[in-house]
Amino acid sequence: MKMPHILAAVLTTITLSNQLFCSSAANAAPQPVVVELFTSEGCSDCPSADILLAALAKHQSVAGAQIIPLEEHINYWDNPKHWVDPYSLALVTNRQYEYAAKFNDDSVYTPEMVVDGSAHFVGSDQSSAVSAVEQAEHTPRAVLSLEATPSFTGKIDVSVVVTDIPQSLAGEQFALYLAVTEDDLHSRVIDGENRGKTLAHSAVTRSLDLAGYVRGAGISKITKSIPLPSSWTTHPLHLVAFLQDTTTKRISGSNEISLQ
């Protein structure tokens, strides 16, 4: 089967200026918006998208939004004879296929960016990314309070309290997901489409767990222990929680905290 791929010119420089994010300053607290990037070290079009995601998260220049990045490495580009992405996860690939069904796509592709489970586009498309984040920040969402406590068994104990589910969404069922992301990762790619390149990554999704389900309004509390291997703790880690409609796939609440 032909490998899904979007042929696009690789961006050598991505400049994020305040002019690109011209919105009026918001007095209210920034609204969290989850930006997912489906990517692979085996894809020559992906490094530019990786850079864009990192820049969006670093500059946080979309007024009124708190961008929560998830760099998600798929595994269908892995080739044992050439290059296997060290960060690829089968569950991430499955997640992208779920989005393909939602968006009525004939196939999956890289790089693909998805904003709050509602908008999708080529992952290196900066203007589409900014527009989608600006639109997402105005949608109703629940509030997630997040705590994490290290244990002595190579895990962390996580508590998520969900409140303020909008009345318009009170009848929906939501899945609560927990992700651990890792920053400041680098790979020297020795074969495949990115042969000879040193790739930098941030917000790499190391794990993604379904913590439970939430339905209706009111207050819900979900606790879960998730693995935290010692090999991850040499780089900055973050814990991300997000509430996703089980039918529409729209993300209607999220939060992120540092684990360092």
Q: Whole-prediction pTM value? A: 0.89
pLDDT tens digits along 157-190: 999 999 999 888 888 899 999 999 999 999 999 9
Query: Which of 18-27, 168-177, 192-201, 229-238 has the largest mean confidence?
Result: 192-201
What's the pLDDT score for residue 8?
A: 37
For every residue of 225-238, DSSP letters joined together read EEE--GGGTTS-EE
Task: Report yes or no on 163 lying in a domain.
Answer: yes
Strands, E assignment, 60-203: 65-73, 112-115, 119-122, 143-150, 155-163, 173-182, 185-188, 198-201
Decide which of 4 and 87 is more confident: 87
Tens of pLDDT, residues 50-87: 999 999 999 997 999 999 999 999 999 999 999 999 99
The pLDDT of residue 26 is 40
Res. 252: pLDDT tops 80: yes
Sorting pLDDT into bands at 50, 70 and 90, what band is 44? very high
Average pLDDT over residues 243-250: 96
For residue 3, give Cα distances in angstroms to 43, 77, 186, 225.
Answer: 10, 8, 25, 36
Instruction: Specify if 1 maps to a domain.
Output: no
DSSP state of 59: H
Q: Is the pLDDT of residue 12 over 70?
A: no
The pLDDT value recorded for residue 27 is 53
Computed on alpha carbons and rounded to an integer, the radius of gyration of the chain in Å comes to 18
- Percentage of residues in the chain having pLDDT higher than 70: 90
Separation between Cα atoms, residue 104 and residue 100, nearest integer Å: 6
Q: Is the pLDDT of residue 11 over 70?
A: no
pLDDT at 230 over 90: no
**Does residue 3 lie within any of the structural domains?**
no
As a whole number, the mean pLDDT across the chain is 89
Q: E strands along 40-75, which residues?
A: 65-73
Residue-level pLDDT at 17: 38
Pairing assessment for the beta strands 31-39 and 65-73 based on DSSP bridges: parallel
Over residues 110-162, the pLDDT tens digits come to 999 999 999 999 999 999 999 999 999 999 999 999 999 987 788 999 999 99
At residue 4, the pLDDT reads: 44
Residue 7 lies in a domain: no
Return d(Cα 96, Cα 131) in angstroms, integer. 21
**To which H or E segment does residue 98 belong?**
helix 90-102
Whether 131 is covered by a domain: the verdict is yes
Query: What is the percent of the chain where pLDDT is above 90?
Result: 78
Number of domains in the chain: 1
pLDDT above 90 for 25: no
Structural domain harbouring 143: 30-258
> Range with the lowest mean pLDDT among 25-34, 85-94, 194-203?
25-34
Please check whether residue 11 lies inside any domain of the structure.
Answer: no
Within-domain flag for 23: no
Residue 21: inside a domain: no
Q: What is the CATH number of the domain that holds 138?
A: 2.60.40.10
